Amino acid sequence: MWPTRHTRPLRLLVAVDPTRPSTILAGTETGLFHSDDRGATWELAVGDWFSSVGAIAFDRLHPGRVYVGINGAVWHSLDHGRTWLLTPSPNDEDVPVTALAVDATGRVYAGAGELFRSADRGRRWVSLGFASPAQFDAASLAFDPASSALYSATPEGLYRSRDGGSSFRRIGPAGAPLLPPSRPPGSVRPRREVQKPPRRFYRPAGGPPAPERGRLRLPVRGVELVAFARGTMMPCPPSRSCCAVT
């Protein structure tokens, strides 16, 4: 569907246009792809072989407006992602944009080594600092229009801001990062019982009789019923018709 520099994409982002559900954007490590038919067909919208997409954010209050972070730059579109304009980089061009969000007033937030905010669709960026992991290590940003809260997900945990990103407070269980919970000390992982299939053996036609008889359990494809001897039979190759013996 879209090219990749690796056998498996390092990161793949998908976003659906909230005002036009048939429009889907897919961010890959080789550019941003656009679909207008619910994913049936795709075309490269912006980027090239070395354009790694780090974030996608739609502006819900302004239909057609969407932002995307590619490498260290932010691009924005006013026509549902068909055409794109490059805005100044929030930080140095070598610092990738890892997170984007748009609040209820249309202000854009970008995580790029520190947290930035723009009130003019990315023409000018203002740094909100890097005192908190929510600012300097944001992996994802999300805005809640109901509570006017900005959320920042980081490897250290989930944070919330109620003042437009100027300050953040850690939420959720105290000291609990966004990692899978570990097993309590001394606990033992339950053992899963696995039922092994019966071993299959065969005796070549006309071979010597078996000195000991095994118990025939299941004939396979009408093979000749023979007496099997444990310890003298050979494993059944995939190309042979065999009997299962217990």
Check which CATH number belongs to the domain holding 116 and give it: 2.130.10.10
CA dihedral over 146, 152, 158, 159, signed as positive or negative: negative
Low-confidence ranges of the chain (pLDDT < 50): 6-9, 174-175, 181, 183, 187-188, 194, 198-204, 208, 210-236, 238-246
Q: Which residue range forms the structural domain that includes residue 212?
A: 196-246
Q: Is residue 134 part of a domain?
A: yes
User: What pLDDT is attached to residue 47?
Assistant: 86
Same domain, 101 and 221: no
Q: Is residue 91 part of a domain?
A: yes
Same domain, 164 and 200: no
d(CA 41, CA 47): 18
Number of folded domains that form the chain: 2
Q: Is residue 188 part of a domain?
A: no
User: What pLDDT is attached to residue 186?
Assistant: 52
d(CA 170, CA 131): 13
d(CA 96, CA 89): 9
Read off the DSSP letter of residue 95: S
Sheet holding 149-154, edge to edge: 140-144, 149-154, 157-161, 169-170
User: What pLDDT is attached to residue 74?
Assistant: 95
